[in-house]
Structure 1
Amino acid sequence: MFSPFALILIPGGYLFLWPLTDRLLRRKDEAVSSLQIGLTALALSVGGLSLAMFWIGLLPGRWLTGLSTLAVVLGGLGIGLALNRRWLRPEAWRAYWKAQWRRLARLDTESLLLWTMIGAALIIYAHAVYYPFIGDDTLSRYGLQAQIIYAEHRIPPEVWGYPPLAPLTFVATWFAAGQANEHLAKLFPVISALGTLGATFLIGRQTMGRRAGLLAATLVALTPMFIRNATLAYTDIPTAFPLTLAVFYALRWWESGRTQDATLSGVLFGIALFTKQSALTWLASLAAVPPLWLLATRRHPYLQRWRRAAIGLAGFLLPAALIAGPWYVRNGLIAGGSNVLPVAGLYHLLGNKTGWPGLIPSLAWPADFGPALAWVYAAGWVIGILRAVRQGREAVRGRQAETPADLLLLGFILPYWLIWWLRFSFEARFLLLILPLMAVWAARPLEWTVGQIGARVRLPRLLWQAAGAALLLGLLLRGGYDRLGGLYRAITHPFASDDERLLYAKGRLYDLILYVRNNLDPERDRLMLMDGRMAYYLRDYDTVVMYPTRLSQLEGFDYLIHSSSIFAIYNARLGWNTSEFYQHVWDPLIFEPVYESGGVHIMRILRTDVPTPEEYEAYREAQEAQGGP
């Protein structure tokens, strides 16, 4: 049963470290912005709660419960309030939000950008919360792991591979709600998306000023693949959020040299690595920041330069190792050294890469970046690299007086982009981890262009407002076009059941699930699934997910359920098109179709060996006698 306390407990789980974070950041810098504090608190709260749940879940017994999770939240909140009682001042909160409303009400350029981000957030929220889990990876990985952890009240050995932050965050939400509520669990990617926009703004403001920060954040909010993936509960955006904040604090360390900034950067990187293994490339990037600082400032009269660099390096790397390292060590202990880092399947790795167009990634994937915005990203990409090269040359000469922001951004972008281009450019989604940094680069030429137009074209303020609003609205509708249906259905079908919503969103997949639930016996029928998403819905059944290549692998199973990608998987790319199984996939002496939806079949397994020629001949004669083909 749904608990109304969830309306209090779920926000508490996302922000319980806010008072403590406020005390930590204001201790060194009283002028630190409320946005920076809130975003840092959000990332630390999500990461801290999931990390605590991880260690509780590894204890002998079943200690991972709603009460233990609540104890972590109340403990962190209580310590923070004890150390920072002024955090609760109502007058300060009222003044802050009144100032934000006045900023929105001005309807100037900055206000229109903020309203655009609010519009993107509404589209993301409406679609995400209206539908249950619909993302393929969410169903086959993160949601399935969350189901297991929630049912077991621990982290059993079968939960390994992909990092557990997202599943544990789902579980914490379910504990608060009193049931496995997928709609509430999808608040996690929505909140992570908002956090990513805020972190993008912080870097843009730090490097180029407030307006550039707003432009960078708005670019991200208008990017089609960002809006799309923010609704799917994948881990790319929840990883991009702490990574972007980690870069922000790395930039601050370059200027301040404070151990706190380096440590926060390392902690945030650890949280990202605890969310998705793809963040590992940033390890080398962070490790390079202190040596680069030593190189660039060797002609400057800094005291204790080597000590500052050494402490900074430790702050960048040690927290990340302590936070994420145990998960990957556990992977190695459970599945062997070759499985420490999970990677995409061989079918995907052998797929088509972008090739030379991937040198400017937004132009290689214009639909994902948006036809118009792809060129803005491309301009920023080229200009950012050129500026980084120039700053690198100055750093080598020891003449770089200011923070080489573009060089540092390149240091984070380049290793990740290079691995993506060479190995994983079969999908643009993986670029979400560096999308905020790409947007910061793109904000520079965009800000210059907007400034030039404003200086050369004289129009009444109202006309400028109307033109700007129309342009941003058009870009928003284009960026969110494939998610507007969720907003429409949330308005027109607000009380549709989850079955109705899933049938609309997942079609044949969920139709097959309903057939299995209504017609097959979970205590008697053993199922082989060729679609990993189905395991999420069929936890009560004895299932195995597999793409068989030999008929003998079907031994002991009663039914085989095809995947919609069966013809794509069993092709020459993997060589499986010549396998024994695929040669007999439609053999009527081996399989009997019992149900079909959208071309995908449920097959009863009749036998697991190849029939003899005599059996085929007897079958042919029987069919002819019955007047069949």
Structure 2
Amino acid sequence: MRPTADSPGNDRPAARWLDATILLALIAVTAATNLYWLRENVVMVGHDATAYLVASLSYTEFFNRLSPAVIFQGLTYPEYRTPFLYLATQPFFWLFGADADSAQWTNVVTLPVVIVLTYALGRVMAGRRAGLVAATITALLPMMTAMARLYYTEMHLTAVVTASLLALLLADSFRRRGWALAWGALAGLGLLVKWTYPMYLALPLLWVLWRGGFFGAQWAALRRFRIDWRRLALAAVIGTGLALLWYWPNRELAAELPAGVWMLPAWALLWSLTAYAILRPASIVGTVWAALLLGASIASLWYVARSDFIQQLLVIDQVRAPEGASPQSLSNYTRYFGFFYDEHLGPLAFWAIVPLALAPWLLSWWRRLTLNRPATLLWLSIVSAYVVLSLILQHNARNLVPVLPALAILAAIALLTYRRPFPLLIGVLWLAILAGQWALTTFQPLAPVLAQSQPLWVESDYVVPPASGSTDPGYWIEPAVLDAVMAESSGAAGEEADSLGILVETWEVHRGLFRYLAERDKLNLTIMALTEPDSRGWSDALANRWLLVKDGDNGHVAAPGQAVIDRIAAGDALFHALYAPAATYPLPDGDTITLYRRDGPRQPQA
């Protein structure tokens, strides 16, 4: 499968300069406005984001200089989440200091990469105009913009998925060895970004292998299989040598990891096979295996070390699954359509864009044709992700972000099939709607306009203006709470840690924010989440000298914590004999959070 040739004149210097100017303008505007949003906003959005921040901050305890031991620890440190985001954040910590504002720079600078990659993929598939239209759409999509402003992995995942699709296309069914190996390296990198990476590439890869005749060639190769012993010996020396260089200086750290000493033979075997595949003479079969093994070798830096990953993943998928989620449930197969409508486009953008973008494709398929054969990769990427996301239990609108560039390119291809002047008219309509929605969710003074016209626009907890609504500065009570808790601490070495129990679980105020601030400021404080199902309720609550409790709706607090809240609200005599209110914090939604303090030892359970 070869990429689509561009139209004549598109490689002229004037066209290249125009493309570069438009892309630079997009990058400059999006970067400047994202930094504006971060400057205006103080309330951090999202639960997972704070968990990522705490892990990234923990890296600062050892990631203060580059050495083999530090790099080994950095690549194997996280127990459940893959390490790429944490590693990518460290340079910004070094430059700007270790806090949330610095961490978010990693996504601010990754959005321009996504814009350029979308343009490149669109241009290779359908010409420069399609690339420019797709890049513009991508830059203005609400969830794409949100992921550039928040601390999640989706921006990096989108970049590596888009780059992988581009490399897979340019590899020409694995006939071009350089691009094929580049795809393999990107696959390994993608797995280090997030374990969900394969679901966006599975069907595109199978389609490329089928069209390139890989399966027939593989069967024929197996029937005449011969081992090149000289190359195998050299590969074994290379693979084992690399494994020893990586493992042996770090064997004490490795001993504490789940795989332990088994990491050495696992890496030696895998890296030897990779070296052997790369050293073999070029062929489609050999190139495919070289690319796959190269990707596996890069990914193994974390996955071999964390060999219990699958077990943890299955447990967490069950724990985080919403009530009623099941592959046998119809909602599993419809929920992502709802996410796309509500949280990615909104009603106005959806009905203005999707029918006009889908009609040319449907008409082409009805005629048993295709608007663009290489774009089959993009359709298969979307279908591949949809199938996997429908089968797993947990769900989130963020999971659609990596396919947004593909959707933008497909929309651009469809747009350019209309007869003139309709591409211009439709394009202006799309641009006006997307740019208007982007402005409403970017600039704080426009927040009242967004609120008044909300039924027209995207509605997502992630896509919000700064310092308004769920990001109202009135929700940012965490620093004041921690200041009150730590006011009695002397800061002396060896002082017993204080303890804070959290009985608040809302989108705006939750335990993750307190843990982030405690980690950032290195507070001598134990924070106990009393909102989870595994809480022991009353006994856990009384074990803390400080308790944070909210009135009003506490529907996101699990049953054990809810029972404690109800008992406090009912005027429990024991609680009120032990605890007294130390401070109250009125919230913008009318609820009030109360900080309670108990006299006596800080952590009596100790």
Report TM bin, short chain: 0.5 to 0.7
CA distance in 1, matches of 2:473, 2:59: 28
In structure 2, the partner of 1:293 is 211
In structure 1, the partner of 2:88 is 169
Matched, 1:204 2:122: yes
Residue 596 of structure 1 is aligned with which of 584, 602, 605?
584
Residue 431 of structure 2 is aligned with which of 451, 465, 472?
472
Q: CA deviation at 1:347?
A: 5.0
SS in structure 1 of the partner of residue 594 of structure 2: strand
The answer to whether the Cα contact below 8 Å between 1:254 and 1:403 also exists between their aligned partners in 2 is no
1:322-374 per-residue CA deviation (whole Å, 9 max, x = no partner) reads 222332333345xx751157856735533789949948837852452143432
CA distance in 1, matches of 2:389, 2:36: 31
Matched, 1:346 2:319: yes
1:229-266 per-residue CA deviation (whole Å, 9 max, x = no partner) reads 21112111111001100011101113561121121112
The answer to whether the Cα contact below 8 Å between 1:127 and 1:231 also exists between their aligned partners in 2 is yes
1:294–1:563 Cα change, 3 Å? farther
Matched, 1:149 2:59: yes
SS in structure 2 of the partner of residue 532 of structure 1: helix
Task: Choose 560-569 or 285-294, whichever is displaced more.
Answer: 560-569
In structure 2, the partner of 1:13 is none
SS in structure 2 of the partner of residue 166 of structure 1: helix
In structure 1, the partner of 2:514 is 534
CA distance in 1, matches of 2:560, 2:419: 55
1:553–1:139 Cα change, 3 Å? same
SS in structure 2 of the partner of residue 195 of structure 1: helix
CA distance in 1, matches of 2:213, 2:366: 15
In structure 2, the partner of 1:51 is none
In structure 2, the partner of 1:186 is 104
Instruction: Please tell me the residue identity of whatever aligns with 1:321.
Output: A
In structure 2, the partner of 1:511 is 477
Residue 556 of structure 1 is aligned with which of 543, 559, 567?
543
1:194-236 per-residue CA deviation (whole Å, 9 max, x = no partner) reads 1111111112111111111111111111211111221112111
Matched, 1:418 2:354: no
In structure 2, the partner of 1:584 is 567
The answer to whether the Cα contact below 8 Å between 1:270 and 1:324 also exists between their aligned partners in 2 is yes
SS in structure 1 of the partner of residue 554 of structure 2: helix
Q: CA deviation at 1:384?
A: 5.3
Q: What are the within-5 Å matches in structure 2 for residues 69-80 of structure 1?
A: none
The answer to whether the Cα contact below 8 Å between 2:499 and 2:544 also exists between their aligned partners in 1 is yes
The answer to whether the Cα contact below 8 Å between 2:45 and 2:471 also exists between their aligned partners in 1 is no
The answer to whether the Cα contact below 8 Å between 1:236 and 1:430 also exists between their aligned partners in 2 is yes
Q: CA deviation at 1:543?
A: 2.2
Instruction: Please tell me the residue identity of whatever aligns with 2:341.
Output: W
Task: Choose 427-436 or 444-453, whichever is displaced more.
Answer: 444-453
The answer to whether the Cα contact below 8 Å between 2:378 and 2:406 also exists between their aligned partners in 1 is yes
Q: What are the within-5 Å matches in structure 2 for residues 273-312 of structure 1?
A: 273-282=191-200, 284-285=202-203, 287-295=205-213, 308-312=283-287
1:383–1:503 Cα change, 3 Å? closer
1:423–1:604 Cα change, 3 Å? farther
SS in structure 2 of the partner of residue 368 of structure 1: helix
Q: CA deviation at 1:145?
A: 0.8
- TM-score normalised to structure 2 length: 0.65
Paired residues in the alignment total 470
CA distance in 2, matches of 1:386, 1:577: 56
CA distance in 2, matches of 1:198, 1:601: 49
Structure 2: tracts of 5 or more residues without a match:
7-11, 64-69, 225-281, 448-465, 490-494, 504-510, 601-606
Q: CA deviation at 1:269?
A: 2.3
The answer to whether the Cα contact below 8 Å between 1:529 and 1:560 also exists between their aligned partners in 2 is yes
1:232–1:404 Cα change, 3 Å? same
The answer to whether the Cα contact below 8 Å between 1:271 and 1:320 also exists between their aligned partners in 2 is yes
Q: CA deviation at 1:449?
A: 3.8
CA distance in 1, matches of 2:599, 2:383: 54
Q: CA deviation at 1:174?
A: 1.7
Matched, 1:233 2:151: yes
The answer to whether the Cα contact below 8 Å between 2:173 and 2:209 also exists between their aligned partners in 1 is no
Task: Choose 475-484 or 376-385, whichever is displaced more.
Answer: 376-385
CA distance in 2, matches of 1:316, 1:585: 60
SS in structure 2 of the partner of residue 567 of structure 1: coil
CA distance in 2, matches of 1:224, 1:503: 17
1:556–1:422 Cα change, 3 Å? same
The answer to whether the Cα contact below 8 Å between 1:212 and 1:440 also exists between their aligned partners in 2 is yes
In structure 2, the partner of 1:251 is 169
Matched, 1:327 2:302: yes
1:160-207 per-residue CA deviation (whole Å, 9 max, x = no partner) reads 211121122222222244x32543432211121111111111121111
The answer to whether the Cα contact below 8 Å between 2:336 and 2:397 also exists between their aligned partners in 1 is no
Instruction: Please tell me the residue identity of whatever aligns with 1:368.
Output: H
CA distance in 1, matches of 2:339, 2:418: 20
Instruction: Please tell me the residue identity of whatever aligns with 2:529.
Output: V
1:468–1:554 Cα change, 3 Å? closer
Residue 431 of structure 1 is aligned with which of 394, 400, 408?
400
The answer to whether the Cα contact below 8 Å between 1:161 and 1:341 also exists between their aligned partners in 2 is no
Residue 529 of structure 2 is aligned with which of 545, 559, 563?
545
The answer to whether the Cα contact below 8 Å between 1:134 and 1:505 also exists between their aligned partners in 2 is yes
CA distance in 2, matches of 1:565, 1:449: 54
Instruction: Please tell me the residue identity of whatever aligns with 1:544.
Output: M
Q: What are the within-5 Å matches in structure 2 for residues 378-417 of structure 1?
A: 380=357, 404-417=373-386
CA distance in 1, matches of 2:343, 2:199: 26
1:422–1:184 Cα change, 3 Å? same
1:551–1:356 Cα change, 3 Å? closer
The answer to whether the Cα contact below 8 Å between 2:92 and 2:106 also exists between their aligned partners in 1 is no
Q: CA deviation at 1:536?
A: 0.4
Residue 138 of structure 2 is aligned with which of 200, 212, 220?
220
Task: Choose 284-293 or 347-356, whichever is displaced more.
Answer: 347-356
1:175–1:138 Cα change, 3 Å? farther
Instruction: Please tell me the residue identity of whatever aligns with 1:432.
Output: V
Structure with bigger helix share is 1
The answer to whether the Cα contact below 8 Å between 1:281 and 1:416 also exists between their aligned partners in 2 is yes
CA distance in 2, matches of 1:230, 1:240: 11
Instruction: Please tell me the residue identity of whatever aligns with 1:414.
Output: V
In structure 1, the partner of 2:463 is none
Instruction: Please tell me the residue identity of whatever aligns with 1:429.
Output: R
Structure 1: tracts of 5 or more residues without a match:
1-30, 33-94, 106-110, 395-399, 456-463, 489-499, 608-629
CA distance in 2, matches of 1:503, 1:420: 30
In structure 2, the partner of 1:46 is none
In structure 2, the partner of 1:64 is none
SS in structure 2 of the partner of residue 600 of structure 1: strand
CA distance in 2, matches of 1:325, 1:276: 13
- TM-score normalised to structure 1 length: 0.62
CA distance in 1, matches of 2:395, 2:313: 23
Task: Choose 376-385 or 244-253, whichever is displaced more.
Answer: 376-385
The answer to whether the Cα contact below 8 Å between 1:228 and 1:483 also exists between their aligned partners in 2 is no
Q: CA deviation at 1:537?
A: 0.4
The answer to whether the Cα contact below 8 Å between 2:549 and 2:595 also exists between their aligned partners in 1 is yes
Task: Choose 244-253 or 117-126, whichever is displaced more.
Answer: 117-126
CA distance in 1, matches of 2:177, 2:35: 37
1:260–1:561 Cα change, 3 Å? farther
CA distance in 2, matches of 1:551, 1:287: 53
